[in-house]
Amino acid sequence: MKRTISITLLAVAGGLVTGWFLTAWQLDQVAGQQPVSQVQTPSNETLGDGFSPEEKVNIQVYQRVNRSVVHITTMSARLDSFLLFETPTKGTGSGSVIDRQGHVLTNYHVIAGAREIRVRLYDGQEYAAGLVGQDPLNDIAVIKINAPVESLNPIRLGDSSTLRVGQKIHAIGNPFGLERTYTVGIISSLNRTLPAANHRTLKSIIQVDAALNQGNSGGPLLNSRAELVGMNTAIASRVGENSGVGFAIPVNTIKRVVPELIKNGKLSRADIGITRVYQTDEGLLIATLARGGPAEKAGLRGFRLVRTQQRRGPFVYEETRVDQSYADLIVGVDGKKTRSVDDFLTQVEMRRPGEKVTLRVIREGNPMEIEVILDGER
């Protein structure tokens, strides 16, 4: 008999939970303690011969990075089922200090809908944070605190394009409120996709087996040189806790998005001016175009309304029908085959406003290529 296995994809942000080895009250007590490793392992300590080479790498990674990791708590309000009363709700997550101006990197879902955001640094000092910019489609957000420069320890950014399956990785975060908890694992797979906002998908996601749990969202994924190579964002689980399948956003996506979030508060995506398409087995059939948009200016065609008149006795009736055969069928962008709406939008949004893309389309049975100069989002 065939068995169906249900796996839930969970964002690893949230509050403390009961029913897990410790009660919520006990976890609160532990979470309020300063990590012993933070006190006993300053970053300039020289390790002796009592550790194996692997242990030395682990210790050095933690020493170099743990002061860059922050604990984020949020306060929001949830309406009851009658939409009459608000119940305060508390969330928790992780983040990384990225510069000495106080900018902190985290997941968008950690701070989404929050009325109050607070950030606790390694020294126990807590600061109110303001939202600088957010990109829900990539699940990335930047917040900022006003903390003394000497308390800010920026994390170093690596290169996720060099990652390999089987490579050792390290994670630091605040699972269940236990600050700067360190776990180790390997990269289990690369180039995964995850569901994102607006029926889109996150691309090039890193899959890891390091233990991640509620509160790890937004925390750093590191290589053995103590460089940020990803941001932990979700786990696959049947029970809501770690099952050895975690996911992280690659740092190269972060490096592309964050500077613009700091500068403009949002990501400026290129727009092609196609407002509606139908996905078919052969490609994307254009239904409607934005009036005066890039696609219309380039001569692309959508559905056409055809009006006909028919006399019936003394009366003349006018009918309108949709002519789909007039529309262009998109089959590729810049030489790459288009298989879905998400593929198409990803190819477009990788460009900047003002750049050109070449669409390969089928028009009335004939293949052709059309250049489109992209505009910014309206």
Q: At 349, give phi and psi (nearest 5°).
A: -75, -10
Bridge pairing between strands 227-237 and 156-157: parallel
Residue 312 CB: number of other CB atoms within 10 A?
Answer: 7
d(CA 35, CA 58): 16
- 126 vs 273: CA distance, rounded Å: 45
Residue 183: Cβ-neighbour burial (10 angstroms; 0-12, 13-18, 19+): buried
What are the residue numbers of the active site?
A: 109, 139, 217
Instruction: Judge whether 236 and 195 are in contact, CB under 8 Å.
Output: no
Give the separation between CA 286 and CA 356, rounded to whole angstroms. 19
Q: Which letter, b or e, does each residue of 123-162 get, where b requires 16 or more Cβ atoms within 10 Å of its Cβ?
A: eeeebebebbbbbbbbbbbbbbbebeeebbbebebbebee
Compute the distance between CA of residue 264 and CA of residue 208 in angstroms, rounded to an integer: 32
Give yes or no for a contact between 232 and 94, defined as CB atoms under 8 angstroms apart.
Answer: yes
- Nearest CA among 249, 251, 250 for reference residue 234: 249
Tell me the helices (H) and strands (E) count for the chain, helix number first.
7, 24
- DSSP secondary structure letter of residue 376: E
Which residue(s) pair with 135 in the sheet? 140
Span between the terminal Cα atoms of the chain, in Å:
53
- Rounded to whole angstroms, the Cα distance separating 294 from 274 reads 8
d(CA 105, CA 110): 11
| Cα dihedral: 183, 184, 189, 195 (round 10) | 10
> For the chain, what's the residue count?
378
